[in-house]
Amino acid sequence: MNVVKPLPSIAAGRRHTVGLKSDGMVTAVGDNKYGQCDVSGWRDMVAVAAGNVHMATNTGNAHTIGLKSDGTVAAVGWNKHDQCDVSGWCDIMAVAAGWRRTVGLKSDGTVVAVGRNNEGQCNVSGWRDMVAVAAGDWHTVGLKSDGTVTIVGNNRYGQCNVSDWRDIAAAAAGYLHTVGLTSDGTVIAVGRNNEGQCNVSGWRGIVAIAAGSNHTIGLKSDGTVAAVGWNKHGQCNISGWRDIVAVAAGCTHTAGLKSDGTVVAVGNNEYGQCDVSGWRGIQLPGN
């Protein structure tokens, strides 16, 4: 069983950004209050994930996840809800991080999750035949090998109403919305749309997607990027981007990996989470 999309080498959280280098080491910038940027000792990594969280003033704590080449997982950062207790995981082939939890996709298509489960967002023990996972603030998304999607957790805004989705090639989860990339390059979205973050029906030629707290990002086949949703911090100001091969969306910022291994970022930079101009040698998809 193979992951549908290349493993992510950039990740964006509430106030920090993480990059996986082609040599298997990891770099991070931004808020480090809980040690979520303490990744300098990591080695042999093949993917990274960052715990995102919505904008509320009483939130912001985050964690960072790294998937190792041997299928084990590393974690640093906020661990109040045991979301970093992944030392016993093995045979993992993809990871996702939401607010207060971590999700792992195993090589046999099953899924494991640790962390806060007040709304059932960690109830994934019965999942089978999964090929990708995504984590929103209070809901967890699983993409099945048949192109359908399963979701558990909070559904207050209909962000789990995906029973009619078909031919999905990738999925992303934001604060209260869920985004699906279809095999024909179009995009669908459900959930809260107060900021227009679900207005993706006109998108075409999309090859990858990312969901921030209240914005949605689409990577086009020509290396340009589309964005909809909340733009108070400039997190959707990506119209000038070119040669992009991967995208990541945090709470209020957006990062793009260029074909030369450098990274660009726009949006909220209060904690230095967009200070990626010096990054070099970030792992390219498929390499």
Report pLDDT digits (tens) over 108-148: 999 999 999 999 999 999 999 999 999 999 999 999 999 99
The CB-side HSE value for 48 (13 A sphere, CA atoms) comes to 36
Average pLDDT over residues 159-166: 98
Q: How confident is the model at residue 40 (pLDDT cuts 50, 70, 90)?
A: very high
Distance CA 69, CA 207 (A): 25
With 90 as the cut, is the pLDDT of residue 183 above it? yes
DSSP character at residue 282:
B
Identify the three-state secondary structure at position 44.
coil
- Burial environment of residue 29 by CB neighbours within 10 A (0 to 12, 13 to 18, 19 or more): buried
Instruction: Calculate the dihedral angle through the C-alpha atoms of 260, 26, 215, 154, rounding to the nearest 10 degrees.
Output: 150
Whether the model clears a pTM of 0.95, i.e. scores above it, the answer is yes
- Per the listing, tokens 């099953």 go with 110
Do 229 and 214 form a contact (C-beta atoms < 8 A)?
yes
**Percent with pLDDT over 70 in the chain:** 98
pLDDT digits (tens, 9 = 90+) for 14-28: 999 999 999 999 999
Alpha-helical runs (H) found in the chain = none
With 90 as the cut, is the pLDDT of residue 52 above it? no
Distance CA 15, CA 88 (A): 28
Average pLDDT over residues 57-76: 92
With 70 as the cut, is the pLDDT of residue 256 above it? yes
DSSP character at residue 50:
E
With 50 as the cut, is the pLDDT of residue 1 above it? no
- Residue 157 token pair: 């805004």
Average pLDDT over residues 76-84: 97
Average pLDDT over residues 240-260: 98
Distance CA 214, CA 195 (A): 7
Do 249 and 237 form a contact (C-beta atoms < 8 A)?
no
DSSP of 202-254: T--SEEEEEE-SSEEEEEETTS-EEEEE--TTSTT--TT--SEEEEEE-SSEE
User: How many C-beta atoms surround the C-beta of residue 55 within 10 A?
Assistant: 16
CA–CA distances in Å: residue 108 to residues 101, 104, 115, 212, 262: 21, 11, 22, 29, 34
With 60 as the cut, is the pLDDT of residue 282 above it? yes
Q: What is the structure's pLDDT at 5?
A: 58
| 7 alpha-carbon distance from chain centroid | 11
- Per the listing, tokens 């939890």 go with 101
